[in-house]
Amino acid sequence: MNLRLELTRFLKLCFVLSSAFMFWKGLSIATNSHSPIVVVLSGSMEPAFQRGDVLFLWNRNERSKVGDVVIYEVQDKSIPIVHRVLREHHNDKNKQLLLTKGDNNAGDDIPLYGRKKIYLQKERDIVGTVKGYVPQLGYVTIWISENKYAKLALMGFLGISALLSNE
């Protein structure tokens, strides 16, 4: 075991991980969204977006318009929701309030908001507005997150490839 070689491999791995992290944080700053890329996890927005589509978000717009597809998060739920703006209102402080609905859902999203809320606040709840997408690319992440054997296989593959890699 060559200590210098092992340290070089470790530093390269650290460089790759820190580069990916810096890219993600830079993208987050540029888009003004803590999660600038999301994967559609359900069929509630069909036919506009299918399960597994990767969405690119932008959150630098001051207002959302009726018809925009937005991603929002509500308290006590960790998964962001992708739905279309159905209505907009303004409160006394001129803050934008939004009512959303999935294209493939029968009713609006009021039951999802929780705690007697009937609208989302643009500044507080909206993660971003969809500005682009890549179809089906997110199925890899869905498959890995929903299948424990896929997680184990991926971790095993990464571990074995790290052990077998040579300079």
Amino acid at 101: K
Q: Please report the pLDDT score of residue 166 as a whole number.
A: 55
Indicate if 83 belongs to the active site.
yes
Indicate if 44 belongs to the active site.
yes
Let me know: does 84 contact 66? Beta carbons within 8 Å: no
Q: What percent of the chain has pLDDT over 90?
A: 61
Q: Which residue in 33, 44, 53, 125 is the catalytic one?
A: 44
Q: Which residue in 53, 64, 83, 125 is the catalytic one?
A: 83
Burial class (CB in 10 A: 0-12, 13-18, 19+), 97: middle
SS3 84: strand
Per the rule left: phi > 0, alpha: psi between -120 and 50, beta: everything else, 94 is: left
Q: Please report the pLDDT score of residue 165 as a whole number.
A: 66
Amino acid at 142: I
Q: What is the CA radius of gyration of the chain?
A: 20
Token pair belonging to 2 = 């060559």
Q: Average the pLDDT over 66-91 and give the result.
A: 91
Q: Which residue in 33, 64, 109, 125 is the catalytic one?
A: 109
Handedness of CA 20, 149, 77, 100 (dihedral sign): positive
Average pLDDT score over the chain? 90
Q: Please report the pLDDT score of residue 25 as a whole number.
A: 96
Interval 106-164: pLDDT, tens: 999 999 998 788 999 998 899 999 999 999 999 988 888 888 888 888 888 887 877 77
Indicate if 109 belongs to the active site.
yes
Q: Average the pLDDT over 27-41 and give the result.
A: 94
CATH number among 3.40.50.2300, 3.40.50.2000, 2.10.109.10, 3.20.20.80, domain 33-155: 2.10.109.10
SS3 9: helix
